[in-house]
Amino acid sequence: MRHLLTVFAFLVLLNTTSCTPPIVQHRAAIADSVRAEFLHAWNGYKQYAWGHDALKPTSKKPRDWYGTSLCMTPVDAYDVMILMGLSKEAAEAKQLIFDSLSFNKNIEVQSFEITIRLLGGLLSAYQLDGDKRFLTLADDLGKRLLPVFNSPTGMPYRYVHLQTGKTRDSLNNPAEIGTALLEFGTLSKLTGNPIYYEKAKNALVQLYNRRSKIGLVGSVINVETG
């Protein structure tokens, strides 16, 4: 989803239909460089942090955001691999995701970060790959995130427990409140379940309704009191 913007420049570089030969060669060289840098990062992850959320590049140690892996790097990077034509790396990541990723875990997560990285990543993977297992994982995650919207205002809490649905932290901000509509709306479109879109849209509307006389909203908003 959002992270597809990071590869947009790569795709632009490949669109050479109206360019002169020197420009075509220059763009192709830059695109090759971008691909090489991506592979450098991915191969480092494979060597030092395979199966974990991320790699700490200086220490070469793995890091799991919540003490147990949610396969953040493979999920986050899968659509980029597809767009770059890295079929071997994409196949490896896909196998790891389906072998290892489960959201039935006794952990509390920050809804916004999990939404943009994992929910968005799984939805992009499904849209580009077509394997319904990606959508099944996204739907499961979406259900586990929904309790964040059960505040008196409908604007989301910041944290939610993936097993119990318990939420906390009523002080949120406009970015985390308003932008969930992108992923949750897409999840509704792909699953046919309107609840995700309805909850995220209501949160955005509630945020908009609390703007000031000059059209601004607070940088910090209490989702219980508004």
- pLDDT tens-digit map of 4-42: 545 555 655 566 555 667 777 888 899 899 999 999 999
Check pLDDT > 80 for residue 172: yes
pLDDT, tens digit, 9 for 90 and up, residues 51-105: 999 999 999 999 999 999 999 999 999 999 999 999 999 999 999 999 999 999 9
**Which two three-digit tokens encode residue 70?**
């949610």
* Whole-angstrom distance, CA of residue 135 vs CA of residue 14: 29
Let me know whether 115 and 226 are in one domain. Answer: yes
User: Is residue 215 located within the same domain as residue 123?
Assistant: yes
Specify whether 8 is located in the same domain as 83: yes
* Boundary-marking domain end, from 101, 127, 147: 101
Counted domains in the chain: 2
**Residue where a domain terminates, one of 82, 101, 120:** 101
d(CA 20, CA 27): 11
Residue 2 pLDDT greater than 80, yes or no: no
pLDDT at 25: 84
- Domain holding 182, by residue range, is 105-226
Q: Do 122 and 43 share a structural domain?
A: no
Q: Are residues 123 and 91 in the same domain?
A: no
Cα 138 off chain centre by: 10
More confident residue, 24 or 131: 131
Domain check: are 217 and 119 in the same one? Answer: yes
**Is residue 125 domain-shared with residue 24, that is, in the same domain?**
no
Q: What is the pLDDT of residue 8?
A: 55
**pLDDT for 181-204, tens place per residue?**
999 999 999 999 999 999 999 999
The C-alpha atoms of residue 40 and residue 35 are separated, in whole angstroms, by: 9
End position of a domain, from candidates 75, 101, 127: 101
148 vs 10, higher pLDDT: 148
- Distance of CA 13 to CAs 28, 38, 158, Å? 7, 15, 38
Residue 170 sits in the same domain as residue 117: yes
Sign of CA dihedral 226, 2, 184, 182: positive
Partners of 63 in beta bridges: 54
Pick the closest to residue 66 from 157, 136, 161 (CA basis): 161
Q: Is 53 exposed, middle or buried (0-12, 13-18, 19+ CB in 10 A)?
A: buried
Q: Are residues 55 and 12 located together in one domain of the fold?
A: yes
Is residue 85 domain-shared with residue 125, that is, in the same domain? no
Reported as half-sphere exposure (CB side, CA atoms, 13 A), residue 80 has a value of 25
